[in-house]
Amino acid sequence: MVGLGETQARAVTPEVSYRELIYGAAVRAYEDAGVSHHDVDAFIASSEDFLEGTSIFDEYVPDQLGAALKPCFTTTADGIFSLINAVMLIKTGAADLVVVEAHSKASEVVDLAGVEKLGLDPNWVRPLDIATDTIAGLEARRYLHDRESDDEPLARVAVKNRNAALLNPLAAYGSRLRIEDARESDPVAPPLREHYVAQPADYASVLVIAERQKALQLAGDRAVEIKGVGFNSGSPNLDSRRLGECDAAAAAAKSAFRLAALNPGDVRFAEVDDTYSHRELMHLEALGLSGDAAAELKSGMFGFGGDLPVNVSGGALGFGRLYEAQGLARVGEVVKQLRGEAGRRQLDGKVALAHAWRGIPTETHAVAIFEGGEAP
Amino acid sequence: MIIKRKVAVVGAGMTKFMRRAKETPKELAFQATRQALDSCNLQRKDIEAVTMGTAPDAFDGVHMKGEYLLDGSGGTNKPYMRVYVGGGTGVFAPIHGWMQVASGLSDTCLVVCEEKMSVTQPHPQAAFNSIYDNFIERQLGVNLVWIFGLEMHRYMKRYGLKKEDIARVSVKNKNNALDHPCAQFKQKVTLDEVLDSEVLAWPVQRMDISPPSDGAVALVLASEEKAKRITDDPVWIDGVGWNLDSSFWTNRDLYYPKYVEYAARMAYKMAGIDNPRKQIDFAEPYDPFNYKELHHTEGLLLAKKGEAPQMVKDGVRERDGDQPTCPSGGLLGVGNPIAAAGLMKCAEMFWQLRGEAGKRQVKNHPTTAVAQAWGDLMQVGTVVVMRR
């Protein structure tokens, strides 16, 4: 990874179109990598039609990236899937320098909950007329029930991430939230409350990824190595899987650790999906980073001074819910940390993991493991 | 550019293409997947990764359509990804499958393309209005027939072509499809019938266009080592290329698809092809409209600019001609379930190169073939070269 360009996550961005948002991230990424768009072999974007309000949205990608008349395609998935595609393309030998893009213009979606509902099976689930947050609530209830816990761990996740976001100038929802405030916020789908659910934000991220030798030439020890990647999907049918478990996240992590020749114990900090509070805990356990996430959270293990800081970027709860761009916000934080460019949030440690989940009703996960160069 | 691992196609399957399938999209994907696995005696457990190709979510009204199709395509508990370049998706999906295997991340990959257009009532063309720029074009109420009419007109004007020069492609492809067991359009067609068909948006007439369809196609890809264990007769993916032009389609001269040429050059370079007119035995260029086959054979460098219509007239493109195009029957004859139609072209290469195409078989044991798809706002080209 030789270049990173991001825009600030914000609840609304009325002054720019999605094209201008992406352009802003692209010019920063190319500047950061010291490359021109002419040098790039291939471009990979990430989007879903219904969130864009445009069918075949991959049509509208090339111009703002400088990708016109170049090899360019879209992954209809989180940006980490596009990053994995970039890794694959480079490993085939067909490309040396690849650009990855993802963005969220959630503020322009008139009915986000309505769009999410269209992701439910049209024949079997949609007629029940349930919201995706309701399904997440069932999942959270199952998770807490299995552990004989009340909702305090969910509040702790929200408090940790919202407070962390205060130190991140790109995060949209930093706040000095207290546990009691979180536990008294409005119910969404019990046990989920307002503060346990990430709020949407607009954001764009562009990454520049290079073949190893080229990366070292371009970025020297600012290059961050992608050590391993993995992705996996569980059944999309709610009736075919046990709520509260995510085996697919475990499988994705297993592939990534195998490629990286590393173990979960080597990871010094992590950025994992926390679209809903309980999901951060579920994911940490599935990824092999925690045995009992609620207890370890309470012990302070996942905080700034802990053994395994998690989501110091603020996560989705503090940074904003970014849909297909959410994973790249996690990756962006890892890159800044491993380069020693995270300012007041700076952590130690050279190996980190980023994870993305595609939201209800999916059980689709992507994982990437990174290692930094020598400290600058 | 040194490609590190060879990738083979070892199996293929497809459903019938039809105007209105009773099966759900998942079931269509399942049928093609099952057939492809059966064709090479593999089980779902033998497959390491799955690539999905399907065009607009607007047809089905399902958000994250790739996730919805996951289990029908055999993707449960596997690395599964959907890739997307509009109408070019059907030939891009096997390129992504090639990436999965050529990169070394997987040894076997199932590539599945599914489309169910009939859900859009009363006609899937209405869903296409949502592909236009939301500020400057959508309000005009445009659809694909209108803008392709502009492109067709430009092509005819540039080279002084007549409607019959273009209509011959419909006759060739629709008649070729009579030999395809999965074809939707089963009716012998004459040049006069094409020329006398209903005018939709001049110069486009009904028989110039492929029919909207429901259907699915699947291919099984494998690394060299795996392929040798699966079959004695693998077909190799020797070249892949893709290219996307600007979104601002009104700012380019529509007479020639430069992006298709760039995609073809990328694939030919990888496959070591420097004289495509001589080195390629037959082609499956994308033919959702009859003029598109002509446009694309020029973009694929199989004809000089403006000379593609004469080659059709001279019989070069017939199944027994010097360099046949669309021996399958193409989208015009077999049908056009968007992404599945592109992958059907790749399946046709597989069957033809193995000599398994039955009544459609191209003569003289073809060894090299190219398939291509196109889409977005007259903007993207995707190309796959296969060799026996």
Instruction: Please tell me the distance in Å from A56's CA to the nearest CA on chain B.
Output: 5
Rounded to whole angstroms, the Cα distance separating A29 from A20 reads 14
Contact B102 A85 (CB under 8 A): no
Q: Are B376 and A56 in contact (CB under 8 A)?
A: yes
Contact A58 B67 (CB under 8 A): no
Residues of B with CB below 8 A from A122's CB? 60-62
Q: Mind listing the pLDDT tens digit for each residue in B260-293?
A: 999 999 999 999 999 999 999 999 999 999 999 9
Q: Decide if B85 touches A, using CB distance below 8 A.
A: yes
Q: Mind listing the pLDDT tens digit for each residue in A263-272?
A: 999 999 999 9
Determine the average pLDDT of the residues in A116-129.
Answer: 94
Q: Are B81 and B109 in contact (CB under 8 A)?
A: no
| C-beta atoms surrounding A262 within 10 Å | 17
Phi, psi torsion values for B204, nearest 5 degrees: -85, 125
Nearest Cβ partner of B244 from A67, A235, A361?
A: A67
Residues of A with CB below 8 A from B4's CB? 91-93
Residue with tokens 């209509």: B167
Q: For A199-226, what is the HEC assignment?
A: CECEEEEEEEEECHHHHHHHHHHHCCEE
Instruction: Enter the tokens of residue A329.
Output: 């916000």
Residue of chain B with shortest Cα separation from A65: B246
Question: Looking at residue A374, what is its pLDDT?
Answer: 65
Q: Are A190 and A141 in contact (CB under 8 A)?
A: yes
Q: Decide if B344 touches A, using CB distance below 8 A.
A: no
Coil, helix or strand at residue B386:
strand
Question: Looking at residue A244, what is its pLDDT?
Answer: 82
Nearest Cβ partner of B64 from A234, A237, A362?
A: A362
Residues of A with CB below 8 A from B257's CB? none
Q: Are B381 and B242 in contact (CB under 8 A)?
A: yes
Q: Could you tell me the sign of the dihedral formed by the alpha carbons of B156, B160, B165, B169, in that order?
A: negative
Nearest Cβ partner of B244 from A62, A119, A364?
A: A62
Nearest Cβ partner of A233 from B62, B76, B86?
A: B76
Residues of A with CB below 8 A from B86's CB? 56, 58-59
Contact A68 B60 (CB under 8 A): no
Residues of B with CB below 8 A from A77's CB? 66, 81-82
For Cα atoms A41, A43, A48, give the angle at the middle one, nearest 5 degrees. Answer: 165
Q: Mind listing the pLDDT tens digit for each residue in B295-352?
A: 999 999 999 999 999 999 999 999 999 999 999 999 999 999 999 999 999 999 999 9
Question: Looking at residue A311, what is its pLDDT?
Answer: 98
Instruction: Enter the tokens of residue B186.
Output: 């089963």
Beta bridge partners of residue B83, listed in sequence order: A75, B53
Question: Looking at residue B142, what is its pLDDT?
Answer: 87
Coil, helix or strand at residue B131:
helix
User: Is pLDDT above 90 for A242?
Assistant: no
Contact B131 A56 (CB under 8 A): yes
Question: Looking at residue A376, what is its pLDDT?
Answer: 38
Question: Looking at residue A194, what is its pLDDT?
Answer: 98
Rounded to whole angstroms, the Cα distance separating B334 from B174 reads 8
Rounded to whole angstroms, the Cα distance separating A76 from A49 reads 8
Phi, psi torsion values for B30, nearest 5 degrees: -60, -45
User: How does residue A241 score in pLDDT terms, banded at 50, 70 and 90?
Assistant: confident
Percent of chain A beyond pLDDT 90? Answer: 96
Nearest Cβ partner of B99 from A76, A85, A115?
A: A85
Q: Decide if B41 touches A, using CB distance below 8 A.
A: no
User: Is pLDDT above 60 for A375?
Assistant: no
Instruction: Please tell me the distance in Å from A327's CA to the nearest CA on chain B.
Output: 15
Beta bridge partners of residue B289, listed in sequence order: B209
Contact map slice: B 167-206 vs A, CB within 8 A: none
Q: Mind listing the pLDDT tens digit for each residue in A62-101?
A: 999 999 999 999 999 999 999 999 999 999 999 999 999 9
Q: Decide if B244 touches A, using CB distance below 8 A.
A: yes
Q: Are B347 and B12 in contact (CB under 8 A)?
A: yes
Q: Decide if B237 touches A, using CB distance below 8 A.
A: no
Residue of chain A with shortest Cα separation from B383: A71
Q: Which residue has the higher pLDDT, A373 or A222?
A: A222
Instruction: Please tell me the distance in Å from A37's CA to the nearest CA on chain B.
Output: 14
Rounded to whole angstroms, the Cα distance separating A80 from A208 reads 13
Nearest Cβ partner of A93 from B4, B75, B84?
A: B4
Q: Decide if B250 touches A, using CB distance below 8 A.
A: no
Q: Which ranges constitute the DSSP H helices of chain B?
A: 25-39, 65-68, 89-102, 144-159, 163-176, 191-195, 224-230, 258-271, 276-279, 290-299, 308-313, 330-334, 338-353
Question: pLDDT below 70 — which residues of chain B?
Answer: none
Rounded to whole angstroms, the Cα distance separating A283 from A289 reads 9
Beta bridge partners of residue B248, listed in sequence order: none
Q: Could you tell me the sign of the dihedral formed by the alpha carbons of B69, B71, B74, B76, in that order?
A: positive
Q: Could you tell me the sign of the dihedral formed by the alpha carbons of B153, B157, B159, B162, in that order?
A: positive
User: How does residue A17 score in pLDDT terms, banded at 50, 70 and 90?
Assistant: very high
Mutate to test the interface with A, among B44, B84, B114 (most CBs of A within 10 A): B84
- pTM of the model as a whole: 0.98
Question: Looking at residue A249, what is its pLDDT?
Answer: 98
Question: Looking at residue A53, what is its pLDDT?
Answer: 95
User: Is pLDDT above 80 for A283?
Assistant: yes
Contact A116 B63 (CB under 8 A): yes
